[in-house]
Chains A and B, each alone.
Chain A
């Protein structure tokens, strides 16, 4: 059974940093691209970042480019999101999501499994 478990969320002040983790199990982690998707309270879904199965390719939404860094450790089956210079509008539940293929966002890609999410409130 595929499982994705996020951790690392919590209250952070504007301008602060936080690192999210997503522990994966139930599939060959290194064979699949992964993404982070967020959802502000009461709002819709916003894709944040993606990383290929090898970790060699990454891609970011314009809203987080230069502030967030996605990475993965395939030996630990773990996905990360380093978030710096956080702003109030980054407040959201952050989900990690497994993509359907190895390469980032190619072909008929879709997010076939999601974690339960971790809440990141950014407030003073």
Chain B
């Protein structure tokens, strides 16, 4: 099975900061990679699909990049509503999610 590893597992940042989260696959998955945001007590929300395509309605400060085994989610200027946990998910085969990255207020 493909393993998905996210780093860091948590980070502290301030409003306005540029934030980068990394996701690594245990084997090449081309661009079959999605990103989700989850706030406490809420369902996950799709942000990015196919590694770099922005889901409709998602602010443009979110962007994704990468292919093969290494991927990144970038928030260009962190907003108060962006404090949440972020998950990557490979769509190359049966869904496997990364362990999550919690973005906390500094």
CB proximity to A under 8 Å, residues B55-106? 55, 87, 89, 91, 93-100
Give chain A residues whose Cβ lies under 8 Å from the Cβ of B89: 45, 110-111
Contact segment of A9-17, A24-32, A77-85, A112-120 = A112-120
- Do residues A112 and B94 form an inter-chain contact, with CB atoms below 8 A? no
Bound state CA distance, A111 and B97, in angstroms?
Answer: 12
Q: Closest CB of chain B to A61's CB: distance in Å?
A: 7
Pick the contact of A110 from B38, B46, B87, B96 — CB < 8 Å? B46
- Do residues A35 and B43 form an inter-chain contact, with CB atoms below 8 A? no
Give chain B residues whose Cβ lies under 8 Å from the Cβ of A109: 91
Pick the contact of B91 from A44, A105, A117 — CB < 8 Å? A105
Q: Is the interface of B mostly helix, strand, loop or mixed?
A: loop
Within 8 Å of chain B (Cβ to Cβ): is A100? yes
- Do residues A115 and B43 form an inter-chain contact, with CB atoms below 8 A? yes
Bound state CA distance, A95 and B100, in angstroms?
Answer: 17
Bound state CA distance, A100 and B99, in angstroms?
Answer: 23
Number of A residues near B (Cβ < 8 Å) is 21
Bound state CA distance, A68 and B50, in angstroms?
Answer: 30
Bound state CA distance, A109 and B33, in angstroms?
Answer: 9
- Do residues A105 and B94 form an inter-chain contact, with CB atoms below 8 A? yes
Chain B residues proximal to chain A, CB less than 8 Å: 31-32, 34, 36, 38, 42-46, 49-50, 55, 87, 89, 91, 93-100
Q: What are 30 A-B pairs at a CB distance below 8 A?
A: A35-B95, A37-B44, A37-B95, A44-B98, A44-B99, A44-B100, A45-B38, A45-B87, A45-B89, A45-B100, A47-B97, A95-B43, A95-B44, A100-B49, A105-B91, A105-B93, A105-B95, A108-B32, A108-B49, A108-B50, A110-B34, A110-B55, A110-B89, A110-B91, A111-B34, A111-B46, A112-B46, A114-B44, A114-B45, A116-B42
